[in-house]
Structure 1
Amino acid sequence: MSSFVAIDHFAKATLTAIPPDEKPTYNSLKTIHQELNDNAMAINSTLGGGHYGHLRLVLPPIKYNDLPNTIPWVNPLHPGEAPVHGVAPTGPQITETNRVYAANETKFLIYRATETALKKQLIEAVPDTFIKTLKHDMYGYAQVTVIAMLNHLDRTYGTVGPQDLSDNMKRMTAEWSPTQPIEDLYNQVKDAQKFAADHDPITDKHAVRAAIDNLENSGVFTNAKEMEEQEFTHMERHFNAADKERRRILTTKEMGFANKAIEKSNTNTTPNVNPGHRSDANGDNMHGGCCIIRRRAGEKAVYRRPARQNNDENQPPPAQG
């Protein structure tokens, strides 16, 4: 088990790095949090209830314990250099002690490998300038946990200011195009709500109005204002149905245009065949040797007789000098 490499099982091999010339922001740190969460949960564990892998390594206890189906997480300890057997153990007792020892050792080694890999990813993703205050002169970051690093970054750089909130409102009201899935609009409004939740909450009514204004401005939902007083979920159901019908009508029209184009093309390229002649597969007349020339509608049919082929066997011998 000492060969276990946690990063081989991570959802993301490298985190989204913060550029060296930029300070961490709420949004850049949020992305790092999400990626670390995914990676930690990708490594299975029976600790903490067993439902969230090693998520506790990147999540403070208070947040972890708020998750459903969890129990308090206890960091595993190394079980020692070798199994400890009782006095005069029986064969089955020795086997069981060895099994428990191996299981505990494996649990500890996976825990340590996962923590080390997560820390390495975080150090590589954040310019050293912004975490160097945690660095020991002799041991570097060896004694610093991932959570300690994240807490430092969040407190120092992860605050949300007025400009962040203003930018968030712009993202919420960004123009939606009818060529996009309507779910894109719902998501941009919901994401803005989540962003502002702990800072300057956006009410559901405000969110509904923002979505409806966008739909009405798109030019395809002219009666959108009628849903302005509805709850967000009700509004979603209504416009999901309306958008589905809109797309069905568009598809039907497109199919109609395509069929008309095909019919027109077939009409303009109909072959004109002289009923007095029969043609073989190559278009050469079987009686009289005429070739049938295809014509466009309204043009006069043209026939030509193929040139007679020379046959040396049928030619008279050249005159003798």
Structure 2
Amino acid sequence: MGTIMPAPAYAVISGAAFDIPVHPGPLPNVAGLTGPQITAVTRQYDTNLDEFTTFVSMQSDLRRQILSAVDHVYLTALKHPTIGYANVSPRQFLDHLTTKYGGVTSTDMEANRAKLATQWNPDEPVENLWERITEIRNVATAGGDPISDTATIELTLQGLAKCGVFDRAIQTWFDKPLAERTWVAFQDHFERAYENREREKTAKASGFACVPTHSANQPPPVVTPPTAPGANAGTNEDAKPNAQRRLVYNDTPLSYCWTHGLVRNASHTSATCTNRADGHDETATLFNRKGGCNEIRCGRSGKRPHSPNE
């Protein structure tokens, strides 16, 4: 590592400075020394020579790898007209590339920041999400524009909302007092949501069906009923018999998915779902569920009122 890392960084990792091996020169004069002394001198000389030989060999291998991986148009400034790159060290290559082409622009920083809001695949371990976020924030910090916890939470919520399966967790997150919405609490909250979803998937795979979750204390979502055949003759909706009808809940557009049921995400339909269960039917709609999930993933579940006979 010492051959390519900046000296301060190497010292932090190793706890000592890196000394570049040098050729030990000719074998020392051992005239007048005893047998054991000659053995010790010779052994030390061989050790120093081996270290130097290994260092030169490693430099040569690293140089070859860099020249193989990087287009030479970016290295021409270091090329000698006679011996080419023979005397250019790996460290010199990297310093040149970093100085000449390693600058981070404001466009790069914005693109990096926007990655926080990209849709995450909920089938991946949630640890992958936290690792990706850490990498994005590290890049931002290295570029001199660190991303705050508040901004990280806001952008990550956008990405989670695009998944279409964490609507309830997102809602309950905003139910928390503002002072409790820290980055640590955010990770804990959505790790629990992820674990609950994994348990639901396991139960579903075992044969347990989805069930409705709205209660008598809260009206079900308002939907626009399907029209009679031919009522909208000539419209795009009639041209697509399996298209979703318009669904609205408290002025919020909803949609239906065969795997996930009724969700608060107008773009999450049976046809667009990216996290499908076995047997998923992409033509299913709320009015023709085709054996799909009956769960309502919006609003509050409330409590079931007790019957006088209970």
Please give the range of the TM-score, normalised by the shorter of the 2 chains: 0.5 to 0.7
Show the 5 A alignment for 1:73-222: 73-82=18-27, 84-197=28-141, 198-221=143-166, 222=168
Per-residue CA distance 1:167-225 (angstroms, 9 max, x = gap): 21232211113222222322332222112112322112211222233234433332333
Work out the CA distance in 2 between the residues paired with 1:76 and 1:130.
29
Work out the CA distance in 2 between the residues paired with 1:145 and 1:234.
48
Residue of structure 2 equivalent to 1:292: none
Give yes or no for the alignment of 1:58 onto 2:25: no
Work out the CA distance in 2 between the residues paired with 1:115 and 1:127.
19
Work out the CA distance in 1 between the residues paired with 2:159 and 2:69.
37
Per-residue CA distance 1:78-105 (angstroms, 9 max, x = gap): 11243x2444222211221121111111
Please state how far the C-alpha of 1:247 moved relative to its aligned partner: 0.5
> By percentage of residues, which structure has more helix?
1
Q: What TM-score do you get using the length of structure 1 for normalisation?
A: 0.57
Work out the CA distance in 2 between the residues paired with 1:243 and 1:223.
9
| Cα distance, 1:230–1:98 mapped onto 2, change above 3 Å | farther
Q: Is the 8 A contact 2:118 2:158 kept in 1?
A: no
Work out the CA distance in 2 between the residues paired with 1:253 and 1:96.
74
> Which of 177, 189, 192 is the aligned partner of 1:238?
189
> Which of 201, 222, 243 is the aligned partner of 1:250?
201
Please state how far the C-alpha of 1:140 moved relative to its aligned partner: 1.3
Work out the CA distance in 2 between the residues paired with 1:68 and 1:155.
23
Q: Is the 8 A contact 1:171 1:188 kept in 2?
A: no
Residue of structure 2 equivalent to 1:28: none
SS of structure 2 residue aligned to 1:136? coil
Q: Is the 8 A contact 1:173 1:189 kept in 2?
A: no
Q: Is the 8 A contact 1:185 1:211 kept in 2?
A: no
Please state how far the C-alpha of 1:144 moved relative to its aligned partner: 1.7
SS of structure 1 residue aligned to 2:206? helix
Work out the CA distance in 2 between the residues paired with 1:176 and 1:102.
56
Per-residue CA distance 1:45-84 (angstroms, 9 max, x = gap): xxxxxxxxxx11111213323x2342111111111243x2
Work out the CA distance in 1 between the residues paired with 2:140 and 2:34.
63
Amino acid at match of 2:8: I
Q: Is the 8 A contact 1:186 1:211 kept in 2?
A: no
| Cα distance, 1:170–1:178 mapped onto 2, change above 3 Å | same
Q: Which has the larger radius of gyration?
A: 1
RMSD value, Cα: 2.3
- Give the unaligned 5+ runs of structure 2: 210-310
Please state how far the C-alpha of 1:119 moved relative to its aligned partner: 1.0
Work out the CA distance in 2 between the residues paired with 1:120 and 1:247.
48
Show the 5 A alignment for 1:12-91: 55-65=1-11, 67-82=12-27, 84-91=28-35
Q: Mean alpha-carbon deviation: is it higher for 121-130 or for 220-229?
A: 220-229
Work out the CA distance in 2 between the residues paired with 1:69 and 1:230.
39
% same residue: 30
Q: How many residues align?
A: 202
Per-residue CA distance 1:31-51 (angstroms, 9 max, x = gap): xxxxxxxxxxxxxxxxxxxxx
Work out the CA distance in 2 between the residues paired with 1:92 and 1:165.
64
